[in-house]
């Protein structure tokens, strides 16, 4: 007993000093800066959203959580995107490349911002309600009646646990010190993308299942060239994004898990869920030449014009 009472203050002081030194020492992050290279593909597609109808998509072959596994354990890193696009007479200009980068950065910053804000409150609430849980258990043993089970607060000890898990995995993105983008130089990827594009042009316009057809084609070509599987992965992510970005599907509880969660937590969900962004942005259709064949102006109804 005496030994413990002697040692305890020293242990306490040791950890306090260690923590404050860690906090206050200026770390030169340039010394161990890891460059994380992510291939980014310009995918021929026809996006469907109101703000992106008919556009192509710029999409990396890894999702955000997969990218986040690559810098685990590094203190700081820089993210470099290598852009591969199908050969075209009007390639991407500097501004378009920079806008891809700015939008990615904006998406991730926005995500981290919401996550850290809600987690500050959520952590606090969880701690508070876990104390309620203790009180609840005391009540359980000290009271002989059953009515106290209607205390709803102990259930709230789970508020925002999904955000807590996201924070664990993805908050490391805040350690990204610099962002850059440049055209990629891997020939295999370039060839694969060109081949894919020549296949894409054979698909009839307006085919609703074009994404499945493209993915199937890439599945066949995968053994020949490893780059095809990367492109396939990017297309799968794009497909997933097209499904999940839908406003209706976000609102309606369409899966069993969402139904269960909303039934039990319902309006007790104080902390909103922060959605992990899909790293995918609309980009110019590189094959598009505006008004090649003269288009009729149909802002004014044509039949109406003829009648008047």
Partner 1 sequence: MPKIELYKLFNKKGYILFSPHHPFFVEERFARYLKAFKGEKTEILLHVEDKEQEAFLLSLSEDFLRIQKNREGYTITPQKSAEEVLEYLKGAFFDTLRKEDTLLLEETKNRDLFYHYGRFRFRGFYGILHRLFPILFIMHGIPGFQPMTWDMLIGDPYFEDRNFFELLRHYQGISWGIERAFEDMTLRVVENRALQVLNDIVREDENGEGFAQAFRVCTRLGLGFLKDFFWPATQATEHSEWTKFMRPPVPLFPWREPQ
Distance CA 111, CA 123 (A): 17
First to last CA, the chain: 102
Residue 242 interacts with partner 1 (CB under 8 A)? no
Residue 151 interacts with partner 1 (CB under 8 A)? yes
**In angstroms, what is the minimal distance from the CB of 13 to partner 1?**
27
**CB closer to partner 1 out of 114 and 225:** 114
Kindly tell me the burial class for residue 202, based on how many C-beta atoms sit within 10 Å of its own C-beta (0-12, 13-18, 19 or more). exposed
**In angstroms, what is the minimal distance from the CB of 52 to partner 1?**
5
Query: Among residue numbers 222 through 241, which ones bind partner 1 (CB under 8 A)?
Result: none
Among residues 274, 260, 267, 276, the alpha carbon closest in space to that of 156 is found at 267
Answer for which of 74, 75, 153, 190 binds partner 1 (CB under 8 A) is 153
Contact between 114 and 274 under an 8 Å Cβ cutoff? The reply is yes
Q: What is the DSSP string of 228-289?
A: HHHHHHHHHHHHHHHHHT-HHHHHS--SHHHHHHHHHHGGG--SPPPPPPP--EEE--TT--
**In angstroms, what is the minimal distance from the CB of 57 to partner 1?**
9
Answer for which of 15, 106, 212, 252 binds partner 1 (CB under 8 A) is 106
Q: Which residue's entry shows tokens 């609840």? A: 136
Residue 307 interacts with partner 1 (CB under 8 A)? yes
Binding site for partner 1 (CB under 8 A): 49-56, 90, 92-96, 98-99, 102, 105-106, 109-110, 112-114, 117, 120-121, 124-125, 127-128, 131-132, 135-136, 138-139, 142-143, 145, 147-148, 151, 153, 178-179, 281-285, 288, 290-291, 295, 297, 299-301, 304, 307-308
């Amino acid at each position: 007993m005496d030994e413990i009472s002697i040692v305890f203050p020293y242990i306490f002081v040791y950890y306090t000093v260690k923590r404050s030194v860690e906090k206050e020492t200026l770390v030169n992050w340039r010394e161990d800066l890891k460059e994380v290279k992510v291939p980014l593909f310009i995918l021929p597609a026809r996006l469907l959203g109101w703000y992106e109808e008919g556009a192509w998509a710029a999409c990396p072959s890894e999702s955000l959580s997969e990218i986040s596994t690559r810098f685990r354990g590094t203190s700081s890193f820089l993210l470099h995107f290598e852009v591969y696009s199908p050969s075209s007479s009007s390639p991407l200009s500097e501004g378009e490349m920079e806008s891809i980068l700015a939008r990615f950065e904006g998406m991730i910053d926005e995500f981290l911002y919401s996550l850290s804000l809600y987690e500050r409150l959520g952590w606090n609430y969880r701690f508070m309600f876990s104390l309620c849980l203790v009180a609840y258990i005391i009540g359980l043993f000290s009271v002989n009646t059953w009515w106290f089970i209607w205390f709803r607060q102990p259930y709230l000890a789970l508020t925002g646990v999904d955000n807590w898990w996201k924070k664990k995995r993805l908050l490391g993105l805040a350690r990204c010190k610099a962002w850059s983008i440049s055209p990629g130089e891997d020939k295999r990827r370039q060839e694969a993308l060109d081949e894919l594009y020549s296949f894409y042009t054979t698909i009839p316009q307006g085919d609703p299942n074009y994404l499945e057809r493209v993915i199937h084609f890439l599945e066949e070509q995968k053994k020949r060239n490893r780059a095809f599987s990367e492109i396939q992965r990017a297309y799968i992510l794009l497909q997933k994004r097209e499904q999940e970005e839908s406003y209706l599907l976000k609102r309606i509880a369409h899966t069993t898990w969402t139904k269960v969660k909303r039934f039990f937590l319902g309006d007790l969900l104080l902390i909103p869920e922060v959605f992990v962004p899909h790293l995918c942005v609309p980009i110019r259709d590189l094959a598009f030449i505006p008004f090649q064949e003269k288009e009729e102006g149909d802002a004014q109804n044509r039949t109406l014009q003829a009648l008047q």
